[in-house]
Structure 1
Amino acid sequence: IVINRIVLIGRLAKDVDLKYIQSGKAVATFSIAVNRTFSKEKEADFFNVVVWGKSAENCANYLAKGRLVGLEGRLQTRSYETQTGEKRYVTEVIADNVEFLEYAKSETPAR
């Protein structure tokens, strides 16, 4: 059996970046900071997150830097070449489910 699932709860480290690919599908990217509960120091791990489709649009509309979010997805590593020909690797969380865990007083949850 092989399982690739990740569940995280953290705060957005930057605002959501929403783009549309050539097919018209929405893709949102952002990073979240997850506190290390086992550390005596205030340390956090940062995860790059990718969300697709309607969920991506909802993230862009309702999330902002500092907001608490829960997500579930899978880890994916991809590679690309820089302009100088150097190969780089990026590990990202591809989120299937994003839960908005807090809202501004003027907002209501999107369903």
Structure 2
Amino acid sequence: MSLNVVHLVGRAGRDPEVKCFESGSVLCTFTLAVNRPTSKNDEPDWFNLKIWGKTAEVAANYVRKGSLIGIQGTLTIETWTDDKTGTERSTPVIRVDRLDLLGSKRDADSSAVGGYGSSNSEF
């Protein structure tokens, strides 16, 4: 049996970047800072997020730098060849399937707070 599920709660490290493709697909990318509860220093762990489709549109409209969010997704490793050196490079990326807007009502429109993703029947 294999299992690849990631659950994280943290704050957006920057405003989302949105790309719209000719096919109609929407991609949203940004970073997520997650504090370790046992860490003695104040350095968070940083995660690169990729969100597609309707959930990406929700993220683009409601997530801003510093927004508290929860995500569920899968861990992927993206690889590419460095143009300058020709060496293979890689980076971990979380492909988000579900996004929960966790900020207070002051942080976001109260109608937007909730969960969005492939498991949500609204989309």
Output the TM-score relative to the length of structure 2. Answer: 0.83
What is the CA distance between 1:22 and its match in structure 2? Answer: 3.7
What is the CA distance between 1:9 and its match in structure 2? Answer: 0.1
Q: Deviations over 1:2-37 (max 9, x none)?
A: 100000000001110010134220000010100011
1 or 2, which has the higher strand percentage? 1
**Aligned Cα root-mean-square deviation (Å):** 1.5
Structure 1: distance between partners of 2:64 and 2:71? 15
Structure 1: distance between partners of 2:40 and 2:111? 35
Point out where structure 2 has 5 or more consecutive residues left out of the alignment. Answer: 115-123
Point out where structure 1 has 5 or more consecutive residues left out of the alignment. Answer: none
Are 2:28 and 1:28 aligned? yes
Are 2:59 and 1:70 aligned? no
Identity of aligned residues (%): 35
Output the TM-score relative to the length of structure 1. Answer: 0.92
Structure 2: distance between partners of 1:58 and 1:102? 14
Alignment of 1:1-111 (within 5 A): 1-84=1-84, 85-103=86-104, 105=106, 107-110=109-112
What is the CA distance between 1:87 and its match in structure 2? Answer: 1.7
